[in-house]
Amino acid sequence: MSGLTADVTAAFDTAADRYDTVGPQFAGPVAARLTELAALQPGWRVLDAGCGAGAVLTRAARAVQPGGHVTGIDLAPRMLARAAREAAALGLAQAVTLREGDAARPPVAAESCDAVVASLVLYLLPDPAAALRAWREVLVPGGKLAFSRGAGPDPRWSPVLAAVDASFSEVAGFEAHVHRPGPLAQTIELLGACGYADIESVVETVTVQYDSPEQWWEAAVAEGPWVTWQHIPPARLAQARAEALVMAAGLREPGGALLRHIKMAYLTARRREAADR
C-alpha cells in the first residue's frame, strides 16, 4: 500500500461516522448528480470504486433495479460498515455486495461489469491513469464509466485551506491532491489514451452553505482535507483551527451567509470496442 493510499484509508476510516453528516452535505449532492448522468439501467452489474459511506452505492442500487447489482469496494473498514448500514436501512442489502479492496485495483473479474462509477475518488489515487486502465479492464466491451472530479475550487477559500496546510510542511496540501488528475482537458485526453470512447463531461457548480465557520471546520475534518490535516500535531492543529476560523469568518456574504462555490466535473465514457480502433 502506498503512503498516500495508507493516509486516505486512515483518514476516512477515522471520519466514517461523521463523513457528510456534519452540516450541509457535499458528497451526497455530487453522488446524486453523478448517478443521474451515468444513466444506469435495470439489470446492470455495477462497480462502485471507492464507495465510501455509500452515497453512490445506494443510488446506483436503486437505479439498476429490478435485477441489477452493485459491488462497492473501499479500503476503509468503517466506511464499508457504514455503507452496509445505509443499504440495509433503505432495503437494498440484497442489491449490494461490499468488499474491502483498493479502488485503483478493483478485486473483481475482468469484463464482469456493465458500469463503473467513482465519485470524488480519482484525486485520492496515487496513479489516476493506472486506475482508469484498471477500471476499463473490469468493464464489458462497450461498458460505461462515470466519475466525478474537481474542476475548480472556490478561490476565496483557497487561502484558508492553504493556511492550515502550512502547519505541516512535510505533507502536500489538500488542494495539491485535488489537482492530481491535472486539468480537465488532460483528464479527457487521458481517458482516450486509456481505451475509452464517447467521452463527455459536464461542469457544474456545487454551492455549500455553512451556518458558521465552526460548522465548516467540522465538515472539513470529516472529509477530504483530513487526508493531510491528520498529520498536523494536535497543538498546532488547534492553533491552525483558530486562525482558519477567523479567516473563514471574513468570507461571510453581506447577509451573513457563509458559502463555498466548488466546480465539479462529471465525466462519462465507454470502454472502447475493437470496432472503434
Separation of first and last alpha carbons in the chain: 35
Residue 159, domain member (yes or no): no
Residue 123 lies in a domain: yes
Kindly state whether residue 189 falls inside one of the protein's structural domains: yes
Per-residue confidence (pLDDT) for residue 116, from 0 to 100: 98
Residue 220 lies in a domain: no
At 113-127, the pLDDT tens digits run 999 999 999 988 989
pLDDT of residue 179: 60
DSSP assignment of 47-90, as one string?
Answer: EEET-TTSHHHHHHHHHTTTT-EEEEEES-HHHHHHHHHHHHHT
pLDDT tens for each residue of 197-213: 999 999 999 999 999 99
Q: Distance between CA 107 and CA 230 in Å, rounded?
A: 28
CATH number of the domain within which 140 lies? 3.40.50.150
Asked, for residue 268, whether it belongs to a domain, the answer is: yes
Q: What is the pTM of this model?
A: 0.92
Predicted local distance difference test score (pLDDT) of residue 180: 64
Question: Residue for cell digits 446524486?
Answer: 32
In a domain, 238, yes or no: no
- Nearest C-alpha neighbor of 149 from the set 132, 167, 168, 170: 132
Does a structural domain hold residue 173?
Answer: no
Secondary structure class of 254 (helix, strand, coil): coil
Task: Answer yes or no: are the C-beta atoms of 30 and 264 closer than 8 Å.
Answer: yes
C-beta of residue 50 within 8 angstroms of C-beta of residue 31: no
For 22, the domain range is 3-150+179-207+263-276
Instruction: For residue 244, give the C-alpha cell.
Output: 482558519
Structural domains of the chain, count: 1
Query: What grid cell was written down for 19?
Result: 463523513
Domain assignment present for 228: no
pLDDT tens-digit profile of 57-81? 999 999 999 999 999 999 999 999 9
